[in-house]
């Protein structure tokens, strides 16, 4: 698969408006540009988010790199919504090129927008403590990882991913992109398990030699053996930021795959299931335990079946 060929279909302006169209259709939202909003740089686009004629909140998209700017991609809550008192405001701060984008960037844009739309839709809580993305830490990535699925779906991509001549991205090319993405996922899953085990065990019990413990855990979880003389944990930055909870990356993915099992992959723009997801999960913010949000949406407790199916699939589906 040729990344240059793929890039021809992802012009930034079309991707941005496509993302707004797709999420607008899914969640019944309208994004109204606010040209005179107070913004911190001329690159920043502000929109009011409306549903059924009422303003739900405001979003700011600051999507291109510039000197001195944050170098990663993230969503930042600016104002927490409180019912009857204040509307939520949030910003996406990312570093995407102004012209053609890598598909990986498109996936990142959908991911981060998943956090932003969660922040806005959950803006009608009684207290800021439960407003927006204030769920448990091991759930907060699930809505954003879920929205990534839309960036891998040929029917969805066809709605906005067109080349300079206006031709939509071929389904066969999306199938190849998916197959390439799926390559090595078993290895990646095992490596994530290894990292999660290191993060957990080194905080749970630090007795003895750390390198010996890491060697044991690598032999148990990872595909590749421990490399003599290495001390991986000494530069594993997540040990201080995520502490014992590195597992949340993979656990959120387990939940995201479970949530995705309720959607029809052949009709990802169907409004009924998306509306139910909006109301039972996103709009609730942190006001309920995440396990209850998932049960309310799926009609059953969470499980790992969707994750297992994904792990075992060959990735050759065309949708
Ligand atoms: Zn995220």
Distance in angstroms (rounded) separating the CA atoms of residues 132 and 76? 11
152-183 b/e (C-beta count within 10 Å ≥ 16 → b):
bbbbbbbbbbbbeeeeebeeebbbbbbeeebe
Please, what is the average pLDDT of the chain? Answer: 95
- Please return the burial class of 43, using the count of CB atoms within 10 Å of its CB with bins 0-12, 13-18 and 19+: middle
Q: How far is the CA of 93 from the centre of ligand 1 (A)?
A: 12
Please say whether the beta carbons of 107 and 149 come within 8 A. Answer: no
List, in sequence order, every residue forming a beta bridge with 79; answer none if it has no partner. 89
Distance 125 CA to ligand 1 centre (A): 22
**Structural domains of the chain ordered from first start:** 3-134 (3.40.390.10)
Q: 191: which 2 tokens?
A: 């490596």
Q: Which of 112, 141, 148, 149 is catalytic?
A: 112
Q: What local confidence, expressed as pLDDT, does residue 255 receive? A: 98
Residue with tokens 């797709």: 22
What is the pLDDT, as a whole number, of residue 316? Answer: 53
- Residues lower than pLDDT 70 in the chain: 315-319
pLDDT for 315: 59
Identify each DSSP E strand in 151-200 by its residue range: none
Span from the CA of 111 to the centroid of ligand 1 (angstroms) = 6
Say how far apart CA 166 and CA 195 lie, in whole Å: 44
Residue 216 falls in the annotated catalytic set: no
Q: What percent of the chain has pLDDT over 70?
A: 98
Q: Compute, in angstroms, the gap from residue 91 CA to the centroid of ligand 1.
A: 13
Using CB atoms within 10 Å of the CB of residue 207, give its burial: 0 to 12 exposed, 13 to 18 middle, 19+ buried. exposed
Please list the residues that pair with 75 across neighbouring strands: 92
> 106: how many CB neighbours lie within 10 A of its CB?
25
């Amino acid at each position: 698969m040729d990344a240059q060929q793929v890039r021809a279909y992802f012009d930034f302006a079309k991707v941005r408006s496509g993302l707004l169209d797709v999420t607008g259709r899914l969640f019944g939202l309208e994004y109204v540009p606010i040209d005179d909003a107070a913004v911190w740089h001329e690159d920043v686009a502000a929109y009011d988010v409306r549903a059924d004629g009422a303003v739900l909140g405001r979003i700011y998209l600051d999507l291109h790199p510039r000197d001195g700017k944050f170098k990663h991609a993230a969503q930042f809550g600016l104002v927490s919504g409180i019912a009857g008192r204040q509307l939520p405001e949030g910003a996406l701060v990312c570093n995407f090129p102004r012209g053609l984008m890598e598909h990986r960037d498109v996936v990142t844009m959908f991911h981060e927008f998943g956090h932003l739309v969660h922040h806005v839709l959950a803006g009608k809580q009684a207290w800021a403590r439960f407003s927006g993305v204030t769920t448990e830490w091991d759930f907060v990535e699930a809505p954003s990882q879920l929205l990534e699925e839309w960036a891998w779906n040929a029917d969805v991509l066809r709605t906005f991913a067109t080349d300079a001549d206006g031709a939509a991205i071929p389904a066969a090319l999306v199938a190849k992109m998916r197959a390439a993405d799926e390559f090595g996922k078993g290895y990646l899953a095992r490596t994530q398990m290894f990292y999660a085990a290191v993060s957990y065990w080194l905080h749970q019990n630090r007795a003895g030699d750390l390198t010996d413990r890491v060697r044991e855990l690598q032999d148990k979880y990872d595909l590749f053996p421990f490399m003599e003389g290495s001390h991986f944990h000494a530069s594993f930055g997540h040990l201080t930021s995520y502490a014992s909870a590195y597992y949340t990356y993979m656990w959120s993915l387990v939940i995201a795959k479970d949530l995705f099992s309720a959607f029809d992959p052949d009709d990802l723009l169907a409004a009924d299931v998306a509306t139910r997801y909006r109301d039972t999960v996103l709009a609730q913010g942190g006001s309920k335990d995440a396990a209850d949000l998932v049960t309310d949406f799926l009609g059953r407790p969470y499980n790992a079946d969707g994750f297992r199916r994904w792990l075992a699939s060959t990735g050759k589906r065309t949708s």
